[in-house]
Amino acid sequence: MSAVTWGLGEADGVARTGVMTTPHGDVQTPNFMPVGTRATVKTMDTEDLRTVGAQIVLANTYHLMLRPGEAVVSQLGELHGFMAWDGPILTDSGGYQVLSLNPKISEEGLVFRSTYDGARVELTPERAVAVQEALGSDIAMVLDVPVPLPSPRIAAEEAMHRTYRWAERALEAKQRDDRALFGIVQGGAEPDLREQAAKEIAALGFPGFGIGGLAVGETPEERDLALDAAIPHLPPDRVRYVMGLGDTEGMLAAIARGVDLFDCVIPTRLARHGKALTRNGDISIKRAEWVKDENPLDTACSCLTCRRYSRGYIRHLFTTNEPLSDRLLTLHNLTYTFDLLRSARAAIEQGRFSEFRSDVVAARAGE
């Protein structure tokens, strides 16, 4: 039996709830993973993450293998002990970050220069698995070859085939039975390639599947076509995870297609740029209209930020470069995100997800 399993809860059409069981606890799905690139979600500690509703977090293999190195993390209690988080952790393979460095790509793997000291580094499918097993994450991802969108069809097809061959090698390299390894579906914006990739990766028997190479420049229509092509060919009793997707409208569209899991830097990155996610649309706290505003960021939000502080105060913090503004906006944005996913699960259980989705999108559009 796999170290990570998923069981169906309720379904409303294709949208579904479920429970993902991991060595460090259960995750209610659909759900969202805050991105803790270097074993920390920026400006948050693990108590904050529990407070805002996080059940699982993501850490980045590329950065951690370079600093402090997987051996150090392993010695300090693996990721769970290292970052004092006792819940589930998923690590990405590092391929997406490496590809932004223009690496040399061969059938063997990736060769690139470290962003920290310029040292030559090799990352192969086998190395990616070994690093993640040393980090001790509950879920590791295979090393894949994402392509930016738009890309020529031939590039998407080549990346898809190489991702499959690397997935076979990753399975051979896996050593730890107490941790899970997920496959990744590639195929660019080509629906027929997405269908082929989903069928081939599904046949390898992974306990869960990332759908990669999205949220990288494609239109919402292209993204939805890619999901429509891939998802029907993934096993219905396994986790479906769209990598890098985290905007409200995008997540709801994916949930409507049967997706279970998401990750994205949007809530935390936007916070550091002075933007708050709200039920009535996103707002920039930098705007002068908030100078004397006594209202919270969102009157319907129960987060610490909205319970205690006004828009005027948060704007003051941001415009004077006080670090507290980053923390307060991040607390709010993550609370908004988890409230959205919690409400989506409830709507599916009540058989009203389509109505819920329409209401959320309309409210955020000001309709």
C-alpha distances in angstroms, 316 versus 65, 238, 303?
A: 38, 47, 19
Coil, strand or helix: which one is 261?
Answer: strand
**CB under 8 A, 24+ apart: contacts of 295-299:** 297/329, 297/332, 298/332, 298/336
Could you give the CA distance from residue 340 to residue 329 in angstroms, rounded to a whole number?
A: 16
- Please provide the distance, in angstroms rounded to a whole number, between the alpha carbons at the two ends of the chain: 48
CB 85 within 8 A of CB 40: no
Question: In the structure encoding, which two tokens stand for residue 332, read together?
Answer: 């709010």
Q: Which segments of the chain have a pLDDT < 50?
A: none
What is the identity of the amino acid at 44? M
Q: Active-site residue 177, yes or no? A: no
**Residue whose structure tokens are 């920039």:** 284
**Residue whose structure tokens are 């058989």:** 351
Coil, strand or helix: which one is 287?
Answer: coil
Predicted TM-score (pTM) of the model is 0.97
Whether residue 68 has a cis bond before it, omega within 30° of 0: yes
Question: What is the structure's pLDDT at 217?
Answer: 82
Could you give the CA distance from residue 242 to residue 262 in angstroms, rounded to a whole number?
A: 5
DSSP alpha helix (H) spans, 12-94 = 46-52, 61-66, 70-75, 78-82
Could you give the CA distance from residue 55 to residue 33 in angstroms, rounded to a whole number?
A: 8
Backbone angles phi, psi at 35, to 5 degrees: -90, 115
CB 322 within 8 A of CB 304: no
Q: Which residues pair with 5 in a beta bridge?
A: 21
Q: Which domains does the chain have, with CATH numbers?
A: 5-264 (3.20.20.105)
Question: What is the structure's pLDDT at 146?
Answer: 82
Coil, strand or helix: which one is 197?
Answer: helix
Could you give the CA distance from residue 148 to residue 188 in angstroms, rounded to a whole number?
A: 8
The active-site residue, picked from 12, 92, 138, 144, is: 92
Could you give the CA distance from residue 227 to residue 231 in angstroms, rounded to a whole number?
A: 6
Cβ burial 309-318 (10 Å sphere, 16+ → b, else e): bbbebbbbbb
C-alpha distances in angstroms, 38 versus 43, 250, 324?
A: 12, 26, 20
Concatenated DSSP letters of 96-110: HHHHTT--EE-SS-E
- With 0-12 CB in 10 A as exposed, 13-18 as middle and 19+ as buried, what is 1? exposed
Coil, strand or helix: which one is 55?
Answer: coil
CB 181 within 8 A of CB 142: yes
Question: In the structure encoding, which two tokens stand for residue 259, read together?
Answer: 């997706």
The active-site residue, picked from 12, 144, 260, 263, is: 263
Q: Active-site residue 228, yes or no? A: no
Could you give the CA distance from residue 41 to residue 22 in angstroms, rounded to a whole number?
A: 21
